[in-house]
Structure 1
Amino acid sequence: MSEVKKIATRDSYGNALVELGKEHDNLVVLDADLAAATKTGVFKKEFPERHIDCGIAEGNMVGVAAGLAAAGKVPFASSFAMFAAGRAFEQIRNSVAYPHLNVKIGATHAGISVGEDGATHQCNEDIALMRSIPGMVVLNPSDDVEARAAVKAAYEYEGPVYLRFGRLAVPVINDREDYKFEMGKGVVLREGKDLTIVASGLPVANCLEVAERLSAEGIEAKVINIHTIKPLDEDLIVAAAKETGKVVTVEEHSVIGGLGSAVCDVLSEKAPTKVLKIGVNDVFGESGPALELLKKYGLDTDGIYEKVKAFC
């Protein structure tokens, strides 16, 4: 069996920007002295006149992006999730979202898979922060195919969008002809009748493996990929909960305020269901190799499987 192709979604972000830049002269990319890491350097090389390095000043970068949007440009402001969502939160809230300007926030290096950079850079709270901002769309793609589609969808959408990308290379799972990205719509990757696994971002591929293991034991799990956390595909989640009776959410993010919280908000109102939230508990990360951290925090295939099996 051939090895599964793996690509970091931060690479997908940079490549997608170049593709869109060739088609749209109004696309501008901003960075905060991290072009090599966020992969916007490939856009800078192709379109140097449309790339602005704002230096280590993320709040100012978002302000510049707001001004460009007000002037008719479509800016993608790029930095690590910790700095994009964390340090520049007030500017995103007041200068971008409040006037509903057409600014896209490209946040790379999200979650504990940032690895050796440690807890200060492992942002597990960004989805919670961005979900709380009125009118903000939150996208968290699971692989290269989905990430590139998400960047295109963000460009085409009129309004603020937060895009979450990772540092670690992840399996390409959406490389098929019938794949279609639609903002606000979840994707059923596997049918099942015994429980529903709702996943987003990096753990989606792991959840497919978990479902296969469960199937070998007679437990059929429906797997739903939620690439758009806000607006959430409420109809799909409610229907799946009613069909299977149990729901597990899996995310490389805090269990507070992220995908799990969004799902619970919906189900508590429309279809009360027993839910298990798998993610980073109320703790900070730590420095270490990405794969070892995912294992320690129970977000690798084995860790997810054990928790889901116990829940069943």
Structure 2
Amino acid sequence: MILVALDANHMRGAPVSMLIELRDRGVRLCVTALTLQELWARAQRDNTRTAFDRRIAKLAELLDPAAPLLAAGSVLMHGVNEDSAAVWEEMATHGRELWSIWSKAATMSDAEWKRYADASEQGINEIADPHVAYYKQTRETIRRLRREGRLTTTAQRFRADLFEQFQSTGTARAATRLDAYHRVAALRAARFAFSNDHGDPDPNDVEDEAMLQQLARPVFVATDDRRLIADVDGSGSTEAPWVRRLADFFGDDLPSGTPWDSPVATFTRRPAREALELHSQIKAQCDTKHPRPPSDATPPT
């Protein structure tokens, strides 16, 4: 049975009927710690605790009991570098323990809920702030070199150099397994550095890119984010077939093996408009098969 990590958009809003059907078909659904932190922090900023608590409670019924919550960031990298059964099991156990607490958000006191929300906000900022600073610094360096007439590289060459730099920062195992993550990070950093945009990079891009780290487990990444999908496909990574839209998991053309050593001979992603139509069709079928209980339905106005 395949393991599928839901991105933030799907964790927050994927149709429950589709998630139920996937679970019933044997698909193991999970979320990442970083994604949960992102949504928890956002719920506090937007004052939407009730909606957040309800969604988490519903997900608690649908996520895989053995691996509901996946580690991210440095903890995940530790697992990749060690790559031992004992380390992976320790991480899985820790994820289950955390989820057993966090999935009961609705039962927390306001003070306890806020404490987790504040910690989530801090955790997200600790990852996003250096990322944003790096993008801005790189753009300023490129612009300064251009003004001084000393720019000797192109966006394409700079992107390739960044990819090689990212690949050399860890172990050979990590470099192999993080191919998509490093390629997309290099693509986005180079594009931003050479753009004429005067705004700041989007901090949400950090969480999007971080989802690609999960391919090192291995795990499928479920996302309908058009920008992320386009960048994964444009990056040239052989791990692209493991980044799929939610509707794709209702088909039978998913790759087997692992993202890093099971290259797909041919992979053509469904065009966006066709994918949207397919999603709507599948959702309608799932809604009919798994109607919402009266208690979950929106009351008439």
TM-score using structure 2 length: 0.23
Q: Over alpha carbons, which structure has the higher Rg?
A: 2
TM-score using structure 1 length: 0.22
Higher percent of residues as strand:
1
Higher percent of residues as helix:
2
